[in-house]
Amino acid sequence: MELRNIAIIAHVDHGKTTLVDAMLRQSGTFRENQQVAERVMDSNDLEKERGITILAKCTSVEWKGMRINIVDTPGHADFGGEVERILSMVDGVVVLVDAAEGPMPQTKFVTGKALGLGLKPIVVINKVDRGDARPHEVHDECFDLFAALDADDEQLDFPTMFAVGRDGWADDSLEGPRKDLSALFDLIVRHVPPPTRDLDKPFSMLATTLEADPYLGRILTGRIHTGVVKTNMAVKGLDREGNLIENFRAAKILAFRGIERVPVEQAEAGDIVCISGMTKPTVADTLCAPEVTEPLKAQPIDPPTLAMIFSVNDSPLAGTEGDKVTSRVIGARLAREAESNVAIRITEQASRDAFEVAGRGELQLGVLIETMRREGFELSVSRPRVLFQTGEDGERQEPIEEVFVDVDDEFSGVVVEKMTLRKAELTGMRPSGGGKTRITFLAPSRGLIGYHGEFLTDTRGTGLMNRVFHGYAPYKGAIEGRRNGVLISNGTGEAVAYALWNLEDRGPMFIPSGVKVYEGMIIGEHSRGNDLEVNPLKAKQLTNIRAAGKDEAVRLTTPRKMSLEQAIAYIQDDELVEVTPKSIRLRKRLRDPNERKKAERASKDV
């Protein structure tokens, strides 16, 4: 059977996963009466909740006697490590662009990688039924983007289709019949070249994704580069330098058929398959026949730009809500994550009960913490810090991000002002239709930590902000941090409504009454710039005099609840976020007030 391998790449929320759903339905992968979840490719709980794709996934459809392997890729720059690896498995890309928003930063990031590998693009302008759609302008913007990314003449001569993925149609022109996706399937078969199938050479395959299965053990997925692999065949793993990692037998070979993986006896060059049976080889290693000595070239991965410290939870409430609390268990889980996610780097700290986790961005690290929390882990995490580099001239350099902001015209002034305070440099500003302005900045990653929540408040929840890693530039100088201090509990017990009511004049609370608190835990924000120790345990003194009842009812203001990402962005360097399966708490790194005073004096003396 003839093969085609394609990846669908696009910005967040431009409709990749919905389009793949429609392709699966129309190719006969599902029965007419089969009940299938919406966005079937987003199978992970976090993906369903957030409505985003986090992990690259593979599926396949059959069309007119030909198999098309389709890879659905994440749209956030934080998960770019996933995208870079899987592009080596395909021969063409479908670039999906929103008919109103046009090419966005993530489109630019992934398309640049695809064009650099020489892949031939097909542009699909999706959501042409939107009231503010401007398909022809967006087509011109795509051409300008490809030209700016140094596409060659063949890549610039790309075919374009107009579509509404939700309604399941795509056509060569806006005036087409708008019936189904058959025109898109035919274009993929025509435009994407078949994989090179060198069956005479010995078997070799580059591993691009790794997962653990409770029955099959380690499973590596990739595209077979040369030769044929058969079940139970002798295979070895080579690292990037060509050193032998392990000899093993291919216990199971799984091929993609629709949304399921089906065991097959053998697979040939060009096909995307999963192989089990190994214990050591990992992502970017080469699986090959015993006679092969040269490893396949792996795509270089952009370096991490942010780091956080994951440490053992040592609060008085440690171990009461989670069952995975020791440094050994946390270390093993992080090592597993680093194996399958090449964009993450783990370093054990000298204290042995803490690990530095470096990654692409706040979202990527936030998803890792949320995943661990759901698995029953308890841990403390520090404020993210950026990873600096030293330039060739010995100059200190920091990561810079390109930031694209779409806001209503009335909010553009406040956004420019706030970004300037964060050492951002304005690089472009233009109207984007419908009373909106698109503003482009080059901003240090440091300044963007924790800004997203403030940005949504400033734009009344209507603004859109997208970021993508731009490069390293000389250090931009100090950036002002949080202006308010915090309210710190001076005792351990359960918070009392009467005490919290009396503290409301001091600032907004983060906790409701009846919640367990401990010494050193942050329970609210101080209305002034300094930290204040308070007593949330103080109950009302009872007397034997009956009151009129006016002051009996305590009405508390609703506390400010923070999500995990908001909590991580809020804390300062001397604070931690305590994460458990049931709670997210803020605390001081040093719980004892005397220890905190000593540390403060020591920092002033330095």
Q: How far is CA 524 from its chain centroid? A: 29
Is 538 flagged in the annotation as binding? no
Q: CA 320, CA 546: separation in Å to the nearest integer?
A: 41
Is 18 flagged in the annotation as binding? yes
54 near 367, Cβ under 8 Å?
Answer: yes
DSSP letter, residue 377: B
Is 16 flagged in the annotation as binding? yes
Q: CA 579, CA 566: separation in Å to the nearest integer?
A: 13
Structure-token match 């731009």, residue found: 470
Q: CA 29, CA 70: separation in Å to the nearest integer?
A: 13
Is 129 flagged in the annotation as binding? yes
DSSP letter, residue 434: T
H or E element that contains 365: helix 362-374
CA triple 544-545-550, angle to 5 deg: 125
Is 128 flagged in the annotation as binding? yes
Number of H helices, E strands in the chain: 15, 34
The tokens for 168 are 């399941």
- Burial status of residue 548 (CB atoms within 10 A of its CB: 0-12, 13-18, 19 or more): exposed
3 near 194, Cβ under 8 Å?
Answer: yes
Q: With b meaning 16 or more CB within 10 Å and e meaning fewer, what string describes 359-392?
A: bbbbbbbbbbbbbbbeeebbbbbbbbbbbeeeee
C-alpha dihedral (209, 211, 216, 220), degrees to nearest 10: 10
Is 323 flagged in the annotation as binding? no
Q: Of the candidates 478, 467, 400, 477, which has an alpha carbon nearest to the alpha carbon of residue 440?
A: 467
29 near 21, Cβ under 8 Å?
Answer: no
Structure-token match 């080059």, residue found: 442
Is 557 flagged in the annotation as binding? no
Is 359 flagged in the annotation as binding? no
The tokens for 139 are 């087509």
H or E element that contains 2: strand 2-10
Q: Of the candidates 71, 73, 134, which has an alpha carbon nearest to the alpha carbon of residue 106?
A: 73
One-letter amino acid at 269 equals A
550 near 541, Cβ under 8 Å?
Answer: no
The tokens for 373 are 């929390």
Backbone angles phi, psi at 411, to 5 degrees: -100, -5
Is 126 flagged in the annotation as binding? yes
Q: CA 527, CA 50: separation in Å to the nearest integer?
A: 33
Helix 412-421 crosses helix 451-458 at what angle (to 10 degrees)? 160
217: left (phi over 0), alpha (psi -120 to 50) or beta: left
Q: CA 138, CA 102: separation in Å to the nearest integer?
A: 5
Backbone angles phi, psi at 5, to 5 degrees: -120, 120
Q: CA 352, CA 341: separation in Å to the nearest integer?
A: 23
Q: CA 71, CA 8: separation in Å to the nearest integer?
A: 6
Is 127 flagged in the annotation as binding? yes
Annotated binding residues for GTP: 13-18, 126-129
Binding-site members are 13-18, 126-129
